[in-house]
Amino acid sequence: MSTNRHPIEQEELMAYLDGELPTDQATEALSHLELCPECQTLVADFRDLSQELMAWEVESPEVGIPSQINAALGERLQKREAAKVSSPRLENRVMTSRWVWVGALAIVCVAVGLKLTLTSRNRNEDRSTAYPSMASIEQYLMLDRNAEIAMARSAAPEAISDDAKILVLGWRGYETAIEGKNGFVCMVERSWMSPFNSAEFWNPKVHVPLCFNPAAARSILPLTIKRTEMVLVGLSKAQMIDSIKAGFDNKELQTPEPGAMCYMMSRAGYLNDALGHYVPHLMFYFPLTDKSSWGADLPDSPVTLNPQFQGGPEPITEFVIPVGKWSDGTAAPVM
């Protein structure tokens, strides 16, 4: 391949495929690719090669945190707590004057009190043990159906959610509360849409209002429906994972349609104990892709890779982009 006929080198084509070219060069590469059968063949070869390398899969045994790591972790956290309480500067001050001694004593009291408060709070918020198994189903249901409809609608601006189909969670799964007109579907997801390894997978406080656009309603919503149905009939996580994998294998489930996204702009949501209401944002769904293709998680990038499906049975990549306003138009906190 000569540079006379091809404005870009083969190596640059490879970098383009890897998402490693600057925008202007990537645009040039794409324009050339559309016209050059020779380069299209090369690109296809590189893609095939990458696909073939994926045949070398490594199955990791399923284990929890080993005792050796747990012990080291406990030791480090204990040392850190101890270091917070005893401060050399404080000890020096204690020796200087009576008044300082009294003041220091007061500080110690406050510090100890604060430590006790934090310890107590941490114990309450210990996400590794707080939600070890499924709570009773009624704890996940919202008794006030109208409240759930309102919360679902709050996921997107009224201009969208007013004409959207609304689903609410019932004893047997999601039910249609209101038929829609615009192809959007709004609902409130529960904790089991978290990653399977999430410590909050069974947190009944989690209420995640969202509005799927039509493409996501067709390709992403079925995942929510399926997980929910499996949870409500009492399947184990392992059974659910197997069933989801089988669902993709037999085409019952599908990867995201082009353009699949959802609105998550409700100030009423509770994503989990760590994030609380979080910030209003949009989510975009793709078949598995490298986060670098969106510049996700890079310094100052507004795009974040959502771990919801990372490492899970669903071959989906999900990007999050915060927006500046809640669905009611009021300003949101800066992330």
Partner 1 sequence: MTSDEALMLEFQGGSRAAFEELFARYRKPLYGFFERRLNNPDRAEDLAQETFLAVIRAASRYEPRALVRTYLYGIALKLLAAERRKFLTSSTSGQSAPEPKTDGTPECALWVRQAMEKLDAPEREILMLREYEQLSYSDIAELLRIPVNTVRSRLFRSRLALKSYLESEAKTKPALRASTAQPHPGRRGMQ
Q: Which of 2, 68, 250, 330 binds partner 1 (CB under 8 A)?
A: 68
Binding status of residue 124 toward partner 1 by CB under 8 A = no
Cβ closest to partner 1, residue 140 vs residue 319? 319
Q: Which of 3, 24, 34, 58 binds partner 1 (CB under 8 A)?
A: 58
The total number of residues shown for the chain amounts to 335
Cβ at position 37, least distance to partner 1 in Å: 18
**Exposure string (b/e) for 91-113, b if CB count within 10 Å is 16 or more?**
eeebeeeeeeeeebeeeeeeeee
Cβ at position 143, least distance to partner 1 in Å: 28
Binding status of residue 132 toward partner 1 by CB under 8 A = no
Binding status of residue 271 toward partner 1 by CB under 8 A = yes
Residue 50 tokens read as 């990458």
Q: Which residues pair with 322 in a beta bridge?
A: 281
Rounded to whole angstroms, how far apart are CA atoms 184 and 165? 6
Q: Which of 90, 157, 235, 248 binds partner 1 (CB under 8 A)?
A: 248
Binding status of residue 77 toward partner 1 by CB under 8 A = yes
Rounded to 10°, the helix 37-53/23-35 angle is 110
Full DSSP string of 129-149? TS--S---GGGTS-S-HHHHH
Binding status of residue 85 toward partner 1 by CB under 8 A = no
* String of contacts with partner 1 for each residue 157-196, x by CB under 8 A: --------------------------------------x-
Residue 16 tokens read as 């383009």
Which residue is associated with the tokens 């100052």? 300
Q: Which of 41, 117, 120, 128 binds partner 1 (CB under 8 A)?
A: 128
Q: Which of 23, 60, 124, 133 binds partner 1 (CB under 8 A)?
A: 60
Binding status of residue 278 toward partner 1 by CB under 8 A = yes
Q: Interacting stretch for partner 1, rule CB under 8 A, among 102-110, 155-163, 173-181, 241-249?
A: 241-249
Q: Which residues contact 274 (CB under 8 A, 6 or more apart)?
A: 127, 200
Q: Which residues contact 204 (CB under 8 A, 6 or more apart)?
A: 131, 135, 139, 140, 190, 191
Cβ at position 9, least distance to partner 1 in Å: 9
Cβ at position 132, least distance to partner 1 in Å: 13
Binding status of residue 219 toward partner 1 by CB under 8 A = no
* Count of chain residues binding partner 1 (CB under 8 A): 67
Which residue is associated with the tokens 């696909």? 51
| Angle, vertex CA 30, rays to CA 1 and CA 290, nearest 5 | 110
Q: Which of 256, 269, 280, 313 binds partner 1 (CB under 8 A)?
A: 313
Nearest to 268 by CA among 182, 335, 215, 210: 210
Q: Which residues pair with 187 in a beta bridge?
A: 210
Q: Which of 10, 25, 182, 243 binds partner 1 (CB under 8 A)?
A: 10
Which residue is associated with the tokens 């070398």? 56
Q: Which of 38, 91, 126, 328 binds partner 1 (CB under 8 A)?
A: 126
Query: What is the chain's percent helix, strand, coil content, to nearest 5?
Result: 45, 15, 40
Residues found near partner 1 in the complex (CB under 8 A): 10-11, 14-15, 17-20, 45-58, 60-61, 63, 65-66, 68-69, 72-73, 76-77, 80-81, 125-128, 195, 197-199, 245, 248-249, 255, 271, 274-275, 278, 288-290, 292-293, 297, 304-308, 310-311, 313, 315, 320
